[in-house]
Amino acid sequence: MRINRALRLGIGVAALALAAATTAGCGSSEKKSALDHAKGGKLTIGIKFDQPGLGLRNKDGSYSGFDVEVARYVAGKLGVKPDGITFKESPSPQRETLIENGQVDYIVATYSISDQRKEKVDFAGPYYIAGQSLLVRADNATINGPDDLKGKKVCSVKGSTPAQNLQKNFPDTQLQTNDTYSLCLEGLKAGSWDAVSTDDIILAGYAAQSAGSFKVVGKPFTTENYGIGLKKGDKELRDKVNDAVEAMIADGSWKKAFDQTVGASGYQAPTPPKVVRY
């Protein structure tokens, strides 16, 4: 019967359309990997926006710092030109989540490799080894190391390894945590805190910018291996990023990048670390 045939045809067309829509929907909603993004010439990379010498968003909207240079070099090795990179601010407490949710392809942001973080993300590197230290106002003569922090108001950042270390190993410190180190700096200037604690290389950048208002004191008292944070389980990506870090060290770009960024304020480049493939 004619009606029946028309009906069947109609159903057939609708089913086909539905199948096509489902396939298309699937393709577009499926999360692409960092290497897929790189193949398309684009990467979103997490960095800090407020750490001079390391990861800084300048007033003109450009980005500078050692982490930025590492991020760009790695992108280049993955086939992505500097203009294909979108930098995304990645404050310390948000880094694992940004990677897990696929909001960034990788993170180069003074990010210490730790067992706790390795439960959620993977790391390539290390590409630098820092150590926790203390920043005080230039006229402070009483704080010279972590043992002088008893009863002192110290600012660090939520979820950072230095904050965790103070909490655990120096519990008499009055620790206050913020989302960013620049907020800690404001409080140090205003007299709300006695010290700011994080990695030596970060504090050196702030001291250099402070025109003599702040100084870094004491010796570094932890080891912070800076890694490039990656989506957990993407071995191909991790191998490629590790290759890129090794190449950056071997061809002299690592030293050049360091000297032009952190080194510009007189900080000496240490011997670069060896990449650890776990």
From CA 64, how far away is CA 188, in angstroms rounded? Answer: 24
> Site mask, ligand GLU, residues 57-96, x = CB under 6 A?
-----------------------------------x----
To which residue do tokens 């000297």 refer?
259
Nearer to ligand GLU, 224 or 246 (CB): 224
* CB 33 within 8 Å of CB 231: yes
246 binds ligand GLU (CB under 6 A): no
- Nearest residue (CB) to ligand GLU, 173 versus 198: 198
Our CB check for ligand GLU shows the closer of 38 and 124 to be: 124
Q: Which range in 12-20, 68-76, 159-167, 261-269 contacts ligand GLU by CB under 6 A?
A: 159-167
**CB of residue 156 to ligand GLU, shortest distance in Å:** 8
Pick one of 49, 63, 87, 111: the residue that binds ligand GLU (CB under 6 A).
111
User: In this structure, what DSSP letter does residue 195 have?
Assistant: E
Q: Pull the structure tokens for residue 240.
A: 């490629």
The answer to whether 50 contacts ligand GLU (rule: CB under 6 A) is no
Quick check: 53 binds ligand GLU (CB under 6 A)? no
- Residue pair 214/207 in contact (Cβ under 8 Å)? The answer is yes
Instruction: Return the structure tokens found at 126.
Output: 């290390």
Region 161-220 residues binding ligand GLU, contact defined as CB under 6 A: 161-162, 198-199, 202
Instruction: Select the residue interacting with ligand GLU from 50, 69, 200, 224 (CB under 6 A).
Output: 224
Tell me the C-alpha distance between 60 and 231, whole Å: 31
Torsion of CA 167, 168, 170, 171, to 10 degrees: 60
Residue 160 interacts with ligand GLU (CB under 6 A): yes or no: yes
SS3 assignment, position 22 = helix
- Give the SS3 label for residue 29: helix
SS3 274: coil
Total number of residues binding ligand GLU (CB under 6 A)? 13
Within 10 A of 50 (CB to CB), how many other CB atoms are there? Answer: 18
Question: Which lies closer to ligand GLU via its Cβ, residue 140 or residue 177?
Answer: 177
Within 10 Å of residue 68's Cβ, how many Cβ atoms?
25
* Contact residues for ligand GLU, defined by CB under 6 A: 92, 109-112, 157, 160-162, 198-199, 202, 224
